[in-house]
Amino acid sequence: MERENSRMKTSIIVLAGVLAGLVVSGCGGIVKKPEINSVKRIGIISVYSNSRLHYFHENKVIISPTPMDFAASALKLGAAVKNSFDKSSPLLEFARQSLEAEFKKLPQFQVIPFEEFGQNPAYRNLSVSTGKPMFQNKTLTIGSMISTPPDFDIAPGMKAIEGLAQSPVDRTLMTNLTNLAKDLNLDGVIVVRFELGYKNAFFTFHSLGSALAGSVSGGRTVSAVASVAATLRLITRQGNFGIVIPDFKDGEGSRKVSDKKFTIMDGKALMTDETVAAMRESILQAVVSMREMIAKEL
């Protein structure tokens, strides 16, 4: 009996050691080893998001497919009205530049700027997934990843690359991205999807005053804060995932909320400099958070 107990204890110790080794090696983490070990030259090839801002209210996300909502959520009008078919977004250009700047802080990687390969025929001719159907006029669960290419906003010059988060993974897409990495002389290519949204700020006297003022003018205005989540995939030139930052899900606290506030009227974001500033703040928080998570496991 004592021998059996001793053997059992030994087995438990060995198993614990194996599990500890798995944790240390990154297995089960966001950085995949040994796949990431050979990755040096990287390029960010896709930065995209939902086109209509998601309004997080009472633990749900509400999407209102109105012209006002479309324009407000795209956050790309600026001083001049742009063609409605132009899906490029200055906010996502800011996100791309922030991603490249943060990844440069990781000594393992040499970041090749998008400007150096964005016009390469291998990238311009890349075939991408059509995505999933967008359900209009519905109340959707927070973090839902459902949209079609017309409902994506993208960083200027980029493509919205879907199909990497689905199960099973789109193997044709993986092959295409592997070939792309080789054609661009990269060890890994990165795809990042953002979910851009906002929610009511905590109740303040300013919110009360705005609400009272709004009621006089016929609309209810309150303070809001930006709420942003992001997911990331790095695909190696060998056709494996080198980094997988999990998709945003309900209740996991992965959203980054801005300190800056802006005004919403009847749940709709108003186009102001304050709105853009808050969104940029939350986007940068999400980017920095991803870089910090990766740095811990490299």
What are the structural domain ranges in the chain?
1-30, 31-297
**Which bin fits 58, alpha (ψ -120 to 50), beta or left (φ > 0)?**
left
Contact status, residue 146 vs residue 116, Cβ threshold 8 Å:
no
Over residues 204-219, the mean pLDDT reads 43
* Global pTM value: 0.75
| 245: nearest Cα among 298, 291, 181 | 291
Please give the pLDDT value at position 241.
Answer: 96
Considering the chain, what percentage of its residues have pLDDT values greater than 70? 64
3-state secondary structure of 34: coil
Q: What are 94-140's pLDDT values in tens digits?
A: 999 999 999 999 999 999 999 999 999 999 999 875 444 333 333 33
Higher pLDDT pick, 282 / 21: 282
Please give the pLDDT value at position 218.
Answer: 47
Instruction: Supply the angle between the helices 90-103 and 273-297 in degrees, to the nearest 10.
Output: 30
Confidence band of 58 (pLDDT split at 50, 70, 90): low
Considering the chain, what percentage of its residues have pLDDT values greater than 90? 46
CB-based burial, 266-285: b 16+ in 10 Å, e otherwise: eebbebeeebbebbbbbbbb
Q: What share of the chain is helix, strand, coil (3-state, %, to 5)?
A: 35, 25, 40
**Range with top average pLDDT, 44-58, 173-187, 197-211:** 173-187
Contact status, residue 185 vs residue 41, Cβ threshold 8 Å:
yes
Please give the pLDDT value at position 1.
Answer: 53
Least confident of 88-97, 145-154, 159-168, 281-290: 145-154
Residue type at 74 in one-letter notation:
A
User: Cα–Cα distance between 227 and 283 in angstroms, integer?
Assistant: 9
Higher pLDDT pick, 202 / 33: 33
**Cβ-proximal residues to 107 (8 Å cutoff; 6+ apart), any chain:** none
Q: What are 74-90's pLDDT values in tens digits?
A: 444 443 333 333 466 88
Please give the pLDDT value at position 244.
Answer: 96
Q: What are 220-253's pLDDT values in tens digits?
A: 788 999 999 999 999 999 999 999 998 766 444 5
Q: What are 35-44's pLDDT values in tens digits?
A: 999 999 999 9
Average pLDDT along the chain:
75
Strands annotated E in the chain: 41-50, 54-57, 60-62, 110-111, 139-140, 152-154, 188-200, 221-236, 241-245, 256-265, 268-269
**Cβ-proximal residues to 168 (8 Å cutoff; 6+ apart), any chain:** none
Please give the pLDDT value at position 87.
Answer: 61
